[in-house]
Amino acid sequence: MSGDEVEEVVAIMMCLKHPDCMRVRPSVGDGGIDLLLRLLDGSYHVFQIKRFTETLKAKQKTQVSKSLARLVAYAKSRNLRVSAWTLVMPLDPTKENFFDWLQGLPAPSDVTPTWRGLNFVDGLAAEYPTVIDYYLHGGRDRVDLAAAELTKLLRLHTTSDAGCHPLEASDAADTLRALANRINAQDPHYRYDLMVTHDSVAPASVDPNRMVVFWQEQFSHSWVTIVVRARFDDAPAVRPVPLSVTITVEPGSELERQLREFHDYGGELVLPGANADITMHLPGGLTPEGGTTEAVRIRSTYTPAPFPSEIEIVVVSPDGTELGSTVAEVTSSTTGVSGRGGRYYGTEANGMFDITLQINRETSEFRFALKSRDLDGLQPQKLRAGAEMLAHLGAPNVLLLRNPHGGQVVAQTPITVPLADSPGLLLDVIEALLVIQRAAGRPIRMPALDHFHIVKPWLDAAHLLRVGELTVRWDCVRCAPEDWLGQAIAEAEGDEVGPLGLLVPLEVEIGGLSIALGDMHYAVPSARVVRRPGEDSDNYVVVPAGDPVATVTLHTSAPAPEQP
């Protein structure tokens, strides 16, 4: 084996032993391969892999010494804490090499260099024979062949000729198990999860951990899904998945505009198959035959923020008056190929809506998109700021992005869409629930907001609690026998009476809970008492005799009964 092959194979076996290793090969000179393993305390164990197989000479010792010196300088410049350093190579040390030379090397503070030699490397080879087979005995060809056999076998079993029974998941169990074991026993870089299902599997439902390829195809009435996962973090760098896409679009078309935005800002681009020519070489022989068929979806890498980055979203009037503001937490982003801009994805701090910001870094111009979230169960008081901002989100107002801590304006853009038909309705509902919550003396959570007729009683009750008086249109009020009408109710049946004063409980139903808020007094100018249809003789209702308008006041003490 060449020196590079030795280092490559040993590094891969070490990565299989420690899948979280980060693999680093110096870009210039002969520095071997470094593996950085992050430990639980935040420090790093560094493995330096060398190709040497014979007793070290002065030149080889110098190479090791220089590698260690580079590590010391790198760790110091990056404030990297190294707690262990191990030299790994297929050569066992002599006593002189280990005690007199290695132990005397200038290592990072509090680090004693160690040596893992031929016995250790032979042990790795015994533990990971697939690596040796793949690199030295033609194993890479057998990996591709095994996957190809899988797809051929599945096509054979799912042929729709007359008399053939469509493949069921249970029919393929033994075949899948045998082929999965065969493939996974041969590929040192990737492992393959195989599934046969009656319905297609959504990529979003699959664990994304180290997923490199999601391959799916329909055979007759069954779907075959193969998920290819890296066995260690650095596997795609060791065994890349080469892919190139040639995109053809008509100048001035909508697709061209989308392509330019994707090029500048990242995000997601969906291309019809006729506009994308793809060449690739997937691991396991899973490269599609015949190129692209229907569509190609290309996504930029979403870079998660190490912690949410806060941005204040402010709506101001054309004269600069602040109308409403809230804070959003940006949790991930994408960057365009051109580097001109990026897209930032986040959520309003209290979970009211999701936001996407498309920012041009060169001009500070930006575009935005909001997507409402389910508010059911959230605290109304935490949603007020976001609702106030949304109530003013429309032309001719202006949207600002501001640093919530320093107050500096980061970017601004005019709002081109007009205000909604009822822009402040959500804010009115939230403020009504807050008034009801204070009056009831109990916590209220946001219920489902399906129709306006659900929230109308909340708005009326809150207005009455705030102002003390309300004019309403009414259709009927139920009278129980113990009401003030008493014995006169039978005599008044069918006749027009008025004015009347009726005492009615003030209750609202919010999220399936009935909340009592006291009583309200209805002042009715004209009414008629009628028996409820289908009810016994003791049940009556009062209905309007003329204009169905009543003045409602909040009842604080029992009013004197008004007689017809």
Radius of gyration of the chain (CA): 37
Summarised one tens digit per residue, pLDDT across range 416-443 is 888 876 678 999 999 999 999 999 999 9
In angstroms, the CA 445 to CA 437 distance is 9
List the CATH code of the domain at 3-127: 3.40.1350
Residue 389 contacts by C-beta under 8 Å, 6 or more apart in sequence?
313, 314, 315, 323, 324, 325, 326
Please tell me the predicted confidence (pLDDT) of residue 484.
46
Please tell me the predicted confidence (pLDDT) of residue 168.
56
Cβ-based neighbour number of residue 493 at 10 Å:
14
What amino acid occupies position 203?
Answer: P
User: What token pair was written down for 383?
Assistant: 């949603």
Please tell me the predicted confidence (pLDDT) of residue 123.
93
Please tell me the predicted confidence (pLDDT) of residue 32.
61
Burial class (CB in 10 A: 0-12, 13-18, 19+), 61: middle
Could you list the beta-strand ranges (E) of 403-539: 409-414, 469-473, 477-479, 496-497, 500-510, 513-524, 527-531
Please tell me the predicted confidence (pLDDT) of residue 35.
87
- Could you tell me which of 89, 99, 73 has the C-alpha nearest to residue 11? 89
Q: What does DSSP say about strands 496-497 and 527-531: parallel, antiparallel, or unpaired?
A: antiparallel
Q: What does DSSP say about strands 527-531 and 540-544: parallel, antiparallel, or unpaired?
A: antiparallel
CA-angle at 398, arms to 396 and 404, nearest 5°: 155
Please tell me the predicted confidence (pLDDT) of residue 68.
84
Please tell me the predicted confidence (pLDDT) of residue 293.
61
CA-angle at 418, arms to 416 and 419, nearest 5°: 130
CA-angle at 299, arms to 294 and 303, nearest 5°: 165
Ranges in the chain, pLDDT < 70: 25-32, 140-176, 289-293, 306-307, 421-422, 478-494, 532-539, 556-564
DSSP 220: T
Cβ-based neighbour number of residue 186 at 10 Å:
21
Answer for the pair 408, 364: CB distance below 8 angstroms, yes or no.
no
Answer for the pair 349, 327: CB distance below 8 angstroms, yes or no.
yes
Counting every residue, how long is the chain?
A: 564
The pair phi, psi for residue 74, each rounded to 5°, is -65, -45
CA end-to-end span of the chain, whole Å?
112
Delimit the CATH 3.40.1350 region(s) of the chain. Answer: 3-127
User: What token pair was written down for 335?
Assistant: 């960057």
Q: How far is CA 274 from CA 242, 249, 292, 294, in A?
A: 21, 10, 8, 8
Say what the pTM is. 0.59
User: What token pair was written down for 552?
Assistant: 């409602």
